[in-house]
Amino acid sequence: MMGILKKKSVFGRVIACILTACVLIFTLAFCYIFYEKEVKEDLFYTSGYYDMKITKHIWYHYSDEDGKGYVFNCDEGRKTLKGVSWVAKPGNGEHLAVYSTGEKRGYFDIYTGKAVIPARYSKAWVFSEGVAAVVENDSLFFIGYEGKRVFERGFVLPKGEGDFCFHNGYCVLRNEEGKMGLIDRKGEWVLAPTCDDLVREGREYWSVCKEERWGVLSDSLVEILPCEYEMVTISEDNGIYVSLADHTQKRYDYDGSVLNDFICGNVYQLSYDTGEYDDEGNSVMATAQCWMYMVENGYCGLMSTDGKPITPPLYRGIEALRKGIYRCSFDYDGSVSTILDNLGRVINL
């Protein structure tokens, strides 16, 4: 009888050990799956170990100790690029990122982390519209996704480098004299390099500066406004705002027709000290005959109470001295001023 009990006891312990081992294996498997699915990516993201998230499973880690880093593929659990000093992520729709070895630059796939175009360029910029600018032997040219030139023409690397990105088929470039123009996807100048500045704005329109005066070109490079304005702003929906030499502002439509001959920002009611005091000893203020209006660049002018401008916005500040007398300052601290009446006429003292 005792032998039977001993056999049952040993058998029970074996079964218990087997069940415990199964539970342990199941628990470890569950923890591993949970780590891979839920924890691993967040750990990389929040620990600070990886400096930059490229895509969901591709990360870049940089080490301050040796000034080098690497690209890491979390799915494969391995480094795909080593000896990387920095990376530059591409814009929307592009799949190749720039990487630098410290001396040369190349491109890697943001979804695999693997090098696609080896690091052989002295300079390289991100892809845009399927094209990227690179420099080799002091020559600036453009390549496609396979690293081949998209056109044979090269350019001298200009001073004051830009981003060399294509937008709506055009890329801003400077010539050897520093003047700016636009090239197309064939490498041809479609806007001659005669501009001092060239800025892409709303609706793919261009603000153009020549000899410190601004104008506007359409998305097809048709002149909308000549270069004769102090400032231009092209909005997405509300037209084109311009400032004249006297800082007066107008609004045009996208074809260059005037919508508003006068526009302004905030309008302020002006008050002056009457020199009298109330029963509590406080100064009695009175409302002046004119208002002050502001324009976008911080200048101000006098306006009648029926909303008509009396003076151009020539001043940095206006103070009412009496009901119809105003001190208009040409600087912010009021050290250089003129005195005007309510019709905008200078009062000579």
pLDDT in tens, 86-144: 999 998 889 999 999 999 999 999 999 999 999 999 999 999 999 999 999 889 999 99
Among 159-163, 253-257, 280-284, 298-302, which stretch is predicted with the lowest mean pLDDT?
159-163
Q: What is the mean pLDDT of residues 308-315?
A: 97
Q: What's residue 334's pLDDT?
A: 86
User: 81 and 165 in one domain?
Assistant: no
User: 249 and 186 in one domain?
Assistant: yes
How far is it, in rounded angstroms, from Cα 300 to Cα 328? 9
Q: What's residue 6's pLDDT?
A: 47
Q: What's residue 11's pLDDT?
A: 57
Q: Which domain holds residue 61?
A: 43-145
How far is it, in rounded angstroms, from Cα 215 to Cα 91? 29
DSSP 8-class letter at 346: B
| Beta-bridge mates of residue 71 | 60, 81
Among 63-72, 100-109, 190-199, 201-210, which stretch is predicted with the lowest mean pLDDT?
63-72
User: 275 and 257 in one domain?
Assistant: no
User: 213 and 137 in one domain?
Assistant: no
Percent of the chain with pLDDT over 90: 74
Q: How confident is the model at residue 51 (pLDDT cuts 50, 70, 90)?
A: confident
Q: What's residue 162's pLDDT?
A: 76
* Structural domain ending residue among the three candidates 112, 145, 178: 145
* Structural domain ending residue among the three candidates 263, 288, 306: 263
Q: Is the pLDDT of residue 80 over 80?
A: yes
191 within a domain of the structure (yes/no): yes
User: 312 and 298 in one domain?
Assistant: yes
Q: Give the pLDDT confidence of 220-232 residue by residue, as tens digits.
A: 999 999 999 999 9
Are residues 98 and 117 in contact, defined by beta-carbon separation less than 8 angstroms?
no
Mean pLDDT of the chain: 88
Q: Is the pLDDT of residue 32 over 70?
A: no
Q: How crowded is residue 265: how many other Cβ atoms within 10 Å of its Cβ?
A: 13
Q: How many domains does the chain have?
A: 3
User: 279 and 255 in one domain?
Assistant: no
Q: Is the pLDDT of residue 158 over 60?
A: yes
* Structural domain ending residue among the three candidates 145, 175, 197: 145
